[in-house]
Amino acid sequence: MSMSKVQLKNAMERYFGFHEFRPGQEAIVDAILAKKDVFAVMPTGGGKSLCYQLPACVLDGTCMVISPLIALMKDQVDAAVENGIRAAFINSTQSERERAAVQAKLVNRELDLLYVSPERFAQEQFKASLQHYPFTFVAIDEAHCICEWGHDFRPDYLNLSEIVKLLPNIPVAAFTATATDAIQQDIIKRIGLRNPFLHRGSFNRKNLFYEVIDKVDDNEQILEHIKRFPDESGVVYRTTRAAVEETASFLCVNGIKALPYHAGLDDRVREQNQDAFSKDQVNVIVATIAFGMGIDKSNVRFVIHGDLPKTMENYYQESGRAGRDGEAAKCILLYSRGDIPKMTYFIDKIESDVVKRQAYRSLDKMAAYASVQSCRRKAILAHFGEALPEENCGSCDVCLSDREVVDITRDAQIILSAIARSGERFGMVHVVDIVTGADTKQIRAQGHEKLKTYGAGNNKSKKEWYDIVDALKMKGIVRQTEGQYPVLILTDDAKEVLFKGKKVTVVKRSVIQPQRVAASQQELYDTALFERLRSVRRAIATDANVPPFVIFADSTLHDMARKFPQNHTQLLGITGVGSVKLERYGDRFIDVIVTYVQEFPDSVERFKGITRPVSVKKPKSAGVSPTVLETFMFIQDGLSINEIAERRALASSTITEHIVTLIQQDKIDSIDPFVEKSKYERIGKLFTNLETSALKPLVEATSGEVSYDEARLVRAWISKKQSLA
């Protein structure tokens, strides 16, 4: 398809509200439009969905998206539909009638995007029907699931190798957020991509702050950190189901709105808990790795790992759930050496020796990340083959601490001597027991209390010695074998240190400087206005029965609260506001901003050139804002909603919102002028029968005979009467 850059950019602005491509996006979109296969490694938050959704909007036909989690599909489809994209899904949660309706739309070319699970694709009946559908290209999300020795392996993904055979004339684009070079080549081979266009984005998530903390009392420490993020969303990862339940209960007892998520829960309960988290009804979800890909929520402000993850890929993927909207977020890992035996217990049960060896190597790298006092960001990037150009990343606990170079040559020689004298046959714990002079059964059984180095390091704690061993491993002076019972072995460099006095130094950090913030800290915005905008977003999302971030991301609301757009043209200049959403919701947000500026006329100037966050205090008495009061005066004159909207050049939905406010503040005696009595009774019964306060199911149940405005007014009136009862 021949399409100019201007046409493509116009489509991006209309559907997504973005004015510029992020790094790599344009080249990927161009490759898909040129009918080339694509393999793209794009970190979480890098904008991979736009790479296949934008071509789907402009091409004649449907993009089939293979997505691994049914629980995510509804959110993905809802978000696409809110952007004005014709999207649907086919999965096992639907009735046969619902699936048939989607297939009819597909045949009639009424869909831009069709989301399908790999399990659905694997069905022979579905594969046999592929040729009859107008697919223009296929996008495979979370493509790393096809790799057996990567993380999150999904057996059903192996069937995706048939795509290029079943649909030989259409391009296939595979996307993943985490893949080393070796895994990348394996994925390309397994899917059968044909000379694909390759994109490997930077793994450097500059808006994330990384921190590792010694685990002492996990639940208390988790609670302490969550309290630093009042009213914000976060994820807590635990290794076991029991730990998930325990932590979730502990947080609830201590006043945190938290819910558990793990594979042992009933499917319905798990779905309800995830839905509550997505819709900001609870602040924290406590989960096992079953939640790894189970969230599309963009406004997660923190991710806490209460236990050591299995691999660096897992950690990157899970911690990467934070800050997907590009705003500042924190990633905290609680680490105890006691986590390692728990992990090796499960690894040892793996039947395949190849997979088992890989698992031990991965765990060793993860433990090194957590224990060594060097830049966290550099370690993460190095794992994925990327170098950090800066010496100091400015956004991890190590780089924001006071650091000093310490000579540990003498300590290194003590450890190396203990390893050598014990025959290079023992692991870290036993070697440290030797140098600290521990009286254990193993020491006595081996006669190691007679070694010259026995007790030579009793001036330091075991933890200090463990840290020294970790440093020697990282420097390649000591090597640790694989397996459930790894032993320490000396390298050639060790002999230089032990026999020739080669100097060994480490960088140690002292007190973290709490006043310093990450260089990627979010820009400033009016926090009071942001809260008002967030309230409107929540109301709209409740009416539409979708998560708030589907309406607008936090980053979009922050931008509004920085720039104070007060008309359609200005609002279109806000990142994330496309013409579709402008038409649907623009007036409601503009009205909030205009009202706020009327109440605080100096607010716009206050956020020009400011150097620190400012939170404007709300008036002691909310009262009725000037714009709502103006609507009230027209109501008293007997004007209808449409007449008031026309007089004031506002949307009718905005006037309806004013009336809802007047109802809540006891200014309206009756809604008879706005809703016919028969409709009022019908709407009231539907709210009861449908057992929901959401507007979308009710409006759909009436096939559009009841409008959103009418339903909104009746809901407000019923709520008022119930509060007075």
Domains of the chain: 5-200 (3.40.50.300), 208-400 (3.40.50.300), 403-510 (1.10.10.10), 527-724 (1.10.150.80)
pLDDT 10s digits, 306-315: 999 988 888 9
pLDDT at 244 over 60: yes
Tell me the torsion sign for CA atoms 392, 395, 398, 401: positive
- Across all residues in the chain, what is the average pLDDT? 85
Residue at token pair 């759930």: 321
Rounded to whole angstroms, the Cα distance separating 517 from 433 reads 40
Band the pLDDT of 574: cuts 50, 70, 90. Answer: very high
* Whole-number Å distance between alpha carbons of 203 and 585: 34
% of the chain surpassing 90 pLDDT: 31
The answer to whether the beta carbons of residues 322 and 273 sit under 8 Å apart is no
Which residue type sits at 688? T
Left if phi > 0, otherwise alpha if psi is -120 to 50, otherwise beta: which for 611?
A: alpha
Among residues 278, 290, 284, 303, the alpha carbon closest in space to that of 241 is found at: 290
Q: What's the sign of the alpha-carbon dihedral 664, 665, 671, 675?
A: negative
Rounded Cα distance between 676 and 683, Å, is 10
Q: What is the DSSP string of 523-554?
A: PP--HHHHHHHHHHHHHHHHHHTS-HHHH--H
**What is the pLDDT, as a whole number, of residue 484?**
67
Side-chain-side CA neighbours of 36 within 13 Å: the count stands at 14
**CA 43 – CA 206 distance, rounded (Å):** 11
- What local confidence, expressed as pLDDT, does residue 471 receive? 85
Q: Which amino acid is at 540?
A: I
* Residue 294 reports pLDDT greater than 60: no
pTM: 0.69
CB 428 within 8 A of CB 490: no
The pLDDT score that the predictor gives to residue 259 is 94
At 138-184, the pLDDT tens digits run: 999 888 888 766 556 777 788 888 888 898 999 999 998 877 778 88
pLDDT band at 295 (very low <50, low <70, confident <90, very high): low
Q: Answer for the pair 225, 211: CB distance below 8 angstroms, yes or no.
A: no
Range with lowest mean pLDDT among 12-16, 101-105, 352-356, 542-546: 352-356
Alpha-carbon span 151 to 165, nearest angstrom: 26
Query: How far apart are alpha carbons 489 and 528 in whole angstroms?
Result: 60
Residues 512/589, Cβ–Cβ less than 8 Å:
no
- In the predicted model, what is the mean pLDDT of residues 257-285? 89
Residue 97 pLDDT more than 80?
Answer: yes
